[in-house]
Amino acid sequence: MSVTPKLNSDRPMVLVTVTGVDSPGITSAMTEILATGNVVIHDIGQAVIHDLLSLSILFELGHGADDKAVIKDLLFKATEMGLKLDFRVFDSKSESQKERLRSKGYRYALTLISDKVTAKALHAVTGVVAKFGLNIDTIERLSDAEFSCVEMIVSKEQALERSELKKELLTIARETGVDVALQAEGLYRRAKRMVVLDMDSTLIQSEVIDEFARERGVYKEVAEITESAMRGNLPFDESLKKRVSKLVGLTTAEIDAVYKRIELTPGAEELIRVLKKLGYKTAIISGGFSVIAERFRERLGIDYAYANQLEMEKGIATGRVIPPIVNAERKADLLDVIAQNERIHLDQVIAIGDGANDLLMLERAGLGIAFNAKPLVREKADFSINQKNLKSILYLLGISGRDLTDLA
């Protein structure tokens, strides 16, 4: 939470803004004049977009400083460097001006992700931001080559009621095809330390139990039960037992065949690679099966994998699952256990899933992401993403395309 800057005196405040083509030494030249004038700087901000600079400095003139001399020297230097300088002088004692100087108390990060972030989407989001009385402090493109990710830092003096805002952002996402994430901006957003993923239809592009059923020739019956369970229409434990009962006779050779044809979700390998380089702990917590989850854990170098265990006798499935069943409650509890084991605060955990049995896990984590999820899950999760690529999760951590290039 930000605080109001303290004014050292009742002297006038000056806000100067320098714009023009960027080059080395501009900020140094401006601050040299301010140092000579013995001013007190209260705020500074600078941005460069395609070689065009915008530098703003808010300062209070020092006792004995010649107001006109400082401003005149700044104007002369800017002109000498081929830049434009605008300035405003106002009374620091004015209540209205003090209000304008006050930093907003609550800050939030809005992240827009798509194959191409359109002007229509930007207009819709900024319109909603204004409607809810939020101020846009900064806007930055995070993607590298394409205009596919934009991050806005917005602020408000009072805490935001996020549920109504989230509904409007979901509507924008449906209408424009641009996903919009809203997070509290602060230390925990920038200090995430663990990412937990569901496996089926999240880390991988298949539902493993459906693939096992395909091997046994009972795909249609099992797929219908799977779909009902993922939509929340059938208790998970009941649906799992029903589906596994149809897998009697499944062999280890058939399990191997299923593993070989499973494809990872695009971006999964890069996501895990980057997270490992940055020191994150990673985990698979799945309502699928350990015979597949363990293989992906080893293949990708993931730290933990928890999933259901098929009961096998002499290499053949009995049609039963070994308790405890990894259902919605156990998923959330396992996330808790891993975080405690690693001494990681839950606010520093990201959970990613697509089904109704992931909801408790998504709620337990500091940030829950519904990835290409069912409607029920999209509505209840912190954030829904439909971009088909897990690499986009990195943008929610504030990691830019340039950062990813540096990590390559």
Q: How far is CA 123 from CA 129, 175, 181, in A?
A: 10, 13, 16
Same domain, 395 and 251: yes
**Of 185, 205, 232, which residue is a domain's last?**
185
pLDDT of residue 3: 42
Same domain, 206 and 269: yes
Q: In what order do the strands lie in the sheet with 304-313?
A: 316-322, 304-313, 281-289, 194-197, 349-353, 367-371, 383-385
The whole domain housing 48 covers: 13-101
Same domain, 280 and 153: no
Same domain, 218 and 314: yes
Show which residues are catalytic. Answer: 198, 200
Would you say residue 6 lies in a domain?
A: no
Burial class (CB in 10 A: 0-12, 13-18, 19+), 233: exposed
Same domain, 243 and 344: yes
Same domain, 181 and 202: no
Phi first, then psi: what are they for 219, rounded to 5°?
Answer: -60, -45
pLDDT of residue 2: 42
> Residues of the chain whose pLDDT is less than 50?
1-8
Same domain, 33 and 142: no
**Of 185, 204, 232, which residue is a domain's last?**
185
Would you say residue 1 lies in a domain?
A: no
Instruction: Write out the two tokens for 16.
Output: 């100067």
Model pLDDT for residues 200-251, shown as the tens digit of each residue:
999 999 999 999 999 999 999 998 887 777 676 788 899 999 999 999 999 9
Q: How far is CA 317 from CA 217, 242, 251, 263, 309, in A?
A: 15, 14, 6, 24, 10
Same domain, 211 and 155: no
Q: Which residues pair with 218 in a beta bridge?
A: none
The whole-model pTM stands at: 0.80
Would you say residue 203 lies in a domain?
A: yes
pLDDT of residue 270: 94
CATH number at residue 132: 3.30.70.260
Instruction: Write out the two tokens for 99.
Output: 């209000």
Q: How many CB atoms lie within 10 A of CB 301?
A: 12
Q: How far is CA 212 from CA 63, 253, 306, 375, in A?
A: 80, 11, 19, 26
**Which positions ≥6 away from 47 have C-beta within 8 Å?**
53, 54, 138
Same domain, 48 and 173: no
Instruction: Write out the two tokens for 368.
Output: 């829950």
